[in-house]
């Protein structure tokens, strides 16, 4: 008789875990700048992309007015006599058109989520960011059918965000699952691995999306480190007794 599984829930980050945020954001922001130039913004693509990258770094990726701040930085003399709202709208449309075309889950994420769902393993999300923005990603990625609807947590609904370990503790409390019987999979050592480990979750450092943090070592180390999410299948079977 097989031993009882030692995990009840597997939780995932979204960005650079279920899809390549870094690659998508690069393409979408470049498309936005190109569209703004097409509609009259007087800046080279090189300068526009450089300034926008600085805006994102300074105001964080979850900020809602990157393009507004880009125009502020460049100043009215670069707006080509256009209403700035038109330039911003052009950038927003191009960004969302890129989202429609290119926002896709990573193939290894699809395989693992399907396998967990078919095995009856409770699977969910703990993500930092704006609730609707993060939820939109899940809808566009098409992964909701493989997730437990009651196991989706966004930081701005919880009153706490990464890297505060409380975000993971609160998720486990809401699920009525001990942290030791919960696994968290994410790409960022400082915000995903370390705080989740601090409250007792099993942790996985995922490097396969090749994002900004893929080469950052996890300190303390994660319980597991993988290049592909599908590499977790034998780990979940052999170390935790899950039928995947």
Q: What is the mean pLDDT of residues 162-180?
A: 98
Q: Which pTM does this prediction carry?
A: 0.87
> What percent of the chain clears pLDDT 70, i.e. is strictly above it?
99
- The pLDDT tens digits for 57-66 are 999 887 889 9
Distance separating alpha carbons of residues 56 and 70, to the nearest angstrom: 9
Residue 208's pLDDT is: 87
Distance separating alpha carbons of residues 240 and 244, to the nearest angstrom: 10
Closest residue by Cα to residue 14 from 22, 3, 6: 22
Q: Phi, psi (5° rounding) for residue 224?
A: -145, 150
Residue 219's pLDDT is: 82
The encoded tokens of residue 73 equal 């930085």
- pLDDT of 20 above 80: yes
Distance separating alpha carbons of residues 147 and 131, to the nearest angstrom: 16
DSSP 242: -
- pLDDT of 211 above 80: no
Residue 163's pLDDT is: 96
The encoded tokens of residue 132 equal 């609707």
Q: Which of 20-34, 38-52, 206-220 has the highest mean pLDDT?
A: 38-52
Burial class (CB in 10 A: 0-12, 13-18, 19+), 31: buried
Residue 45's pLDDT is: 97
Q: What is the mean pLDDT of residues 184-212?
A: 93
Tell me which residue has tokens 């960022």: 188
Q: What is the mean pLDDT of residues 151-173?
A: 97
> What percent of the chain clears pLDDT 90, i.e. is strictly above it?
85
Distance separating alpha carbons of residues 181 and 193, to the nearest angstrom: 16
The answer to whether the beta carbons of residues 13 and 187 sit under 8 Å apart is yes
Distance separating alpha carbons of residues 168 and 165, to the nearest angstrom: 6
The encoded tokens of residue 11 equal 């939780």
Work out the mean pLDDT of the chain and round it to a whole number: 94
Distance separating alpha carbons of residues 227 and 206, to the nearest angstrom: 6
CA atoms within 13 A of residue 175's CA, in its CB half-sphere: 29
- pLDDT of 1 above 50: no
- pLDDT of 3 above 70: no
- pLDDT of 2 above 90: no
- The pLDDT tens digits for 106-116 are 999 999 999 99
The answer to whether the beta carbons of residues 184 and 201 sit under 8 Å apart is yes
- The pLDDT tens digits for 129-148 are 889 989 999 999 999 999 99
Residue 240's pLDDT is: 96
Secondary structure percentages of the chain, helix, strand, coil, to 5: 55, 10, 35
- pLDDT of 150 above 60: yes
Domains, the chain, in order of start with CATH, read 9-19+104-240 (3.40.50.1000), 23-102 (1.10.150.520)
């Amino acid at each position: 008789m097989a031993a009882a599984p030692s995990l009840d829930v597997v939780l995932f980050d979204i960005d650079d875990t279920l899809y390549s945020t870094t690659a998508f954001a690069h393409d979408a922001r470049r498309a936005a700048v190109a569209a703004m130039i097409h509609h009259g913004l007087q800046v080279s693509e090189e300068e526009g992309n450089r300034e926008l990258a600085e805006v994102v770094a300074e105001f964080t990726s979850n900020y809602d007015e990157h393009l507004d701040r880009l125009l502020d930085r460049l100043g009215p003399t670069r707006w080509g006599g256009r209403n700035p709202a038109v330039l911003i709208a052009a950038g927003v449309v191009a960004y969302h058109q890129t989202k429609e075309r290119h926002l896709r889950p990573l193939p290894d994420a699809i395989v693992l989520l399907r396998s967990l769902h078919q095995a009856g393993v409770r699977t969910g999300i703990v993500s930092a960011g704006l609730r609707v923005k993060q939820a939109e990603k899940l809808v566009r990625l098409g992964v909701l059918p493989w997730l437990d609807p009651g196991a989706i947590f966004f930081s701005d609904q919880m009153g706490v965000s990464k890297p505060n370990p409380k975000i993971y503790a609160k998720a486990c409390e809401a699920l009525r699952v001990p942290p030791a019987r919960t696994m968290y999979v994410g790409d960022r050592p400082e915000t995903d691995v370390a705080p989740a480990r601090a409250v007792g979750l099993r942790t996985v450092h995922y490097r396969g999306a090749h994002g900004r943090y893929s080469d950052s070592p996890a300190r303390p180390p994660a319980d597991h480190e993988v290049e592909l999410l599908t590499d977790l299948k034998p780990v979940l079977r052999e170390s935790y007794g899950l039928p995947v």
